[in-house]
Structure 1
Amino acid sequence: MNLHQALNRLKSKGYKYTGKREKLVQIFTGEDRYLTAKEVLEQMQGEYPGLSVDTVYRNLSLFEKLGIVEGTEWEGERRYRLHCGGDHHHHHLICKECGRTRRINVCPMDAILGEPKDFMITDHKFEIFGYCQRCEPENIG
């Protein structure tokens, strides 16, 4: 998903387009990683010094509901990244140090369950946490 697609989705669902919301999406389009609400707030405070963390959380929650961002729980905190877009089913490798993600195009659910009888799977999430090449433990210091 890019900035234009994200803002169009917001407008097409009847939500107000504001400079703050545009800035929020711009932050995610410039990052290929998960961000916390606090990290987003820090990047926005230069332009919007009175912005509250509650406002950031409300907008992130709305963006997640609209499929603009994807959220995950990690180390006790909700983190967000720009939605990958498209309908292609995939999962992510997530670096625990920098939050960068890498797409994996196989689904472990296929190997685990296949098509279970008497149960219709409507959604699932599979994430693998570790360290990217830049952040491997011997490089962390």
Structure 2
Amino acid sequence: MTDNRNTAPQGLQASITAGIGTFATASCMKWLPPEDTQYWISVCTLLSPVVGYFVAKFFCSIDEPEELTKYKAWLNKDLTNQKKILKDKNVPEDVKKEVRQKYTETTLKLASANQDYSPRGIVVNDPD
């Protein structure tokens, strides 16, 4: 099963198209001379679905699932705490070595968080 998150859902696209079409049509009738109104209404009728599709696709591309956002926030919080430990002069060097390794692992998890996400949640492949 493929996950098409970048494809605009039909309901969202229809709502945006209807809103754009209504606004454009009302604008044409209000601000244009009466002799040009019919021409511009036809143009708006043809262009509003195209504009609606691209607007819906844009909204879908910036929409991120809540679980993925939380996962990234947790990873960023871990990175912040790991940086504090690495900068602390009172922490022994052997502990810092382990924290550096965890820092690298956390950075890699953050870098691949979008790839690891599926609709069922975060999929993590443990080497164990």
Name the TM-score, length of structure 2 as normaliser.
Answer: 0.27
Of Structure 1 and Structure 2, the greater strand share is in 1
Question: Which structure: larger Rg?
Answer: 2
Q: Looking at both structures, which has the greater relative contact order when contacts are Cα pairs under 8 Å and sequence separation is at least 6?
A: 2
Of Structure 1 and Structure 2, the greater helix share is in 2
